[in-house]
A and B are shown apart, each in its own frame.
Chain A
Amino acid sequence: EADIYQTPRYLVIGTGKKITLECSQTMGHDKMYWYQQDPGMELHLIHYSYGVNSTEKGDLSSESTVSRIRTEHFPLTLESARPSHTSQYLCASTGGSYEQYFGPGTRLTVT
């Protein structure tokens, strides 16, 4: 089991609220990723980071933002949540062995 953590696991929040999804890994990996996945569907890369102070947008446009101030921490923020943001958000990291290790995910519902 990979040491990558996401909190909260489930979040129900009203439209217009600001939210931050937390992701932390204890493996010392430089590269971290955020994916968006609708239930039972494919994953879409929305953000990635190759190290501290490095962040890039992924292949799927997203209204969220990320930061990477510490190697182990890669939070994702939505300034104003909307129902279209309802989805599952998965965080992953890799340490150079090519495969990515995933956290358990955060299931977000915006009402």
Chain B
Amino acid sequence: AQSVAQPEDQVNVAEGNPLTVKCTYSVSGNPYLFWYVQYPNRGLQFLLKYITGDNLVKGSYGFEAEFNKSQTSFHLKKPSALVSDSALYFCAVGYRDDKIIFGKGTRLHILP
């Protein structure tokens, strides 16, 4: 069965420092992996995806994620955090018929 785990409920990072939000997955077959961000009282906004190809994928707002097949991970990263990056981040895995399973979300706090 497809599943995705975000082991951290909350991550705190000082502004200007690098950030990592962790995600691991379990899929049968080749994974389709996504990161979304949600700001308060808003829908989810697509950040980036891995379908095939280069393991390092770049997305919106300077975010990137690295697909690691051996560790079944897809961690979200950014070299230098901004206060405006503070939001709720969801990792997701795609499965049959274009459906997506979402992780529980990680709340990212960037401290000024």
Chain A: residues with CB nearer than 8 A to chain B? 2, 6, 31, 33, 40-43, 45, 48, 50, 90, 92, 94, 96, 98-105, 107
A40 to B39, CA, bound (A): 10
Point out the residues of chain B lying under 8 angstroms from A41, CB to CB. 104-105
What 0/1 pattern do residues 59 to 102 of B give for CB contact below 8 A with A?
Answer: 00000000000000000000000000000101000100111101
Q: Tell me the chain B residues, 14-64 only, with Cβ under 8 Å from chain A.
A: 32, 34, 36, 41-46, 49, 51
Residues of B within 8 A of A (CB): 32, 34, 36, 41-46, 49, 51, 88, 90, 94, 97-100, 102-105, 107
The main secondary structure of chain B at its interface with chain A is strand
The number of residue pairs between A and B whose CB atoms lie closer than 8 Å in the complex comes to 52
Q: What's the dominant secondary structure at chain A's contact region? A: strand
CB atoms of B107 and A104 under 8 A apart: no
